[in-house]
């Protein structure tokens, strides 16, 4: 995702921080300097940790169902777990979605119980609904509870929208269920913006409402497009004009074939049998003056391919995972014979067509 950077990883899941979160922490720190009151800054830092636990819960459930998680990106008002694919089982999707809010609520009520045990007088404070009490555990408890409740709202892009979509998808088409969740998200976003203008003390609702509206629209569009692309088979968009090289050719010859065919990678074939792909990155590791002396058979090859009946989304996963520009296409009955290639450009074209329909 743009404008985010990696800060670590957990269970091989990269954790990234969006630059807006860093700006928020920095802004709160600077505003705390004049009166040396670092209480809000401490709250923000700990809330960041709890948002991480919220998103990690989504990822743990996803991995339990065998779904890969690309990374977790943390934002000031929440986070995003980038999951490799949407589960085709609604029962799995709603369980993944609800895991985050339930984690936030569990943390919130645990901290609340601890606060009340330590300070019994907090019962009276709880009834007054203050913005902040100055009691660290209690304020963190309330923020986590609010985070959990907000994310349970049944509208995109909140987790509750995914739960709502999954429950609807058990009864109606997935794309229709997505549209209903998106519509609710847009309505909620507009209402929050209007409320922010009417009630000046809650002007932050304008920002949050805009985020909700845009987030609902973008996620809905991406989901609907992905649903359409899932029906496009590799054989429908295959390129049959394939440029092969053989293991005895030198790297200079291979580069000429790649430039001629406009591929970033080259397919290696010997006596009509597919042996693998030599990638552009591997070729560039070899010094220019050595390329005419070195043969393809001395290079590392990737023996990867997709079947012609598979979805282009499956092919795209391989392209992304292997960091290649194209993937060979074969028939299941003869995986050693390449019948064509599917390139990343072809997938982009298919995506744009689906988007414009």
Tokens representing 151 are: 């994310």
Tokens representing 94 are: 């709603």
Among all residues, which ones are annotated catalytic?
55
Nearest partner of 158 among 129, 196, 188, 113, judged by Cα:
188
Q: Give, as one character, the DSSP assignment of residue 308.
A: T
State how far the Cα of 254 lies from the Cα of 249, in Å rounded to an integer. Answer: 7
Q: Which residues of 127-144 are buried (b: 16+ CB within 10 A; e: fewer)?
A: eeeeeebebebbbbbbbb
Tokens representing 10 are: 């957990």
Instruction: Give the residues across from 82 on adjacent strands.
Output: 71
Between the alpha carbon of residue 337 and those of residues 130, 329, 333, the distances in Å are 70, 9, 9
Using an 8 Å Cβ cutoff, are 351 and 343 in contact? no
């Amino acid at each position: 995702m743009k404008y985010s950077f990696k800060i670590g990883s957990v269970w091989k899941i990269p954790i990234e921080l969006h630059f807006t979160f860093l700006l928020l922490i920095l802004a709160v720190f600077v505003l705390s300097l004049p009166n040396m009151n670092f209480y809000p800054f401490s709250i923000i830092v700990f809330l960041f940790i709890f948002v991480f636990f919220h998103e990690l819960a989504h990822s743990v459930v996803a991995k339990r169902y065998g779904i890969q998680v690309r990374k977790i990106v943390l934002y000031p008002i929440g986070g995003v777990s980038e999951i490799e694919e949407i589960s085709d089982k609604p029962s799995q999707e709603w369980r993944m979605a609800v895991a985050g809010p339930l984690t936030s609520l569990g943390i919130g009520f645990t901290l609340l119980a601890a606060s009340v045990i330590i300070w019994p007088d907090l019962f009276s404070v709880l009834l007054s609904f203050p913005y902040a009490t100055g009691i660290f555990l209690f304020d963190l408890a309330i923020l986590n509870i609010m985070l959990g409740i907000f994310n349970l709202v049944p509208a995109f892009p909140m987790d509750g929208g995914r739960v709502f979509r999954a429950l609807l998808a058990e009864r109606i088409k997935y794309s229709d269920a997505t549209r209903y969740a998106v519509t609710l998200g847009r309505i909620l976003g507009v209402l929050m913006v209007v409320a922010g203008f009417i009630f000046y003390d809650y002007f932050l609702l304008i920002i949050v409402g805009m985020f909700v509206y845009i987030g609902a629209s973008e996620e809905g569009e991406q989901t609907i497009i992905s649903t359409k692309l899932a029906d496009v088979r590799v054989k429908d968009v295959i390129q049959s004009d394939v440029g092969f090289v053989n293991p005895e050719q030198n790297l200079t010859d291979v580069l000429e074939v790649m430039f001629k065919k406009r591929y970033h990678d080259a397919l290696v074939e010997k006596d009509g049998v597919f042996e693998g792909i030599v990638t552009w990155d591997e070729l560039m590791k070899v010094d220019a003056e050595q390329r005419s002396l070195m043969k393809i058979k001395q290079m590392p090859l990737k023996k990867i391919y997709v079947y012609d009946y598979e979805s282009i989304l499956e092919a795209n996963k391989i392209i992304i995972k292997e960091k290649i520009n194209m993937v060979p296409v074969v028939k299941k009955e003869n995986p050693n014979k390449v019948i064509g290639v599917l390139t990343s450009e072809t997938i982009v074209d298919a995506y744009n067509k689906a988007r414009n329909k």
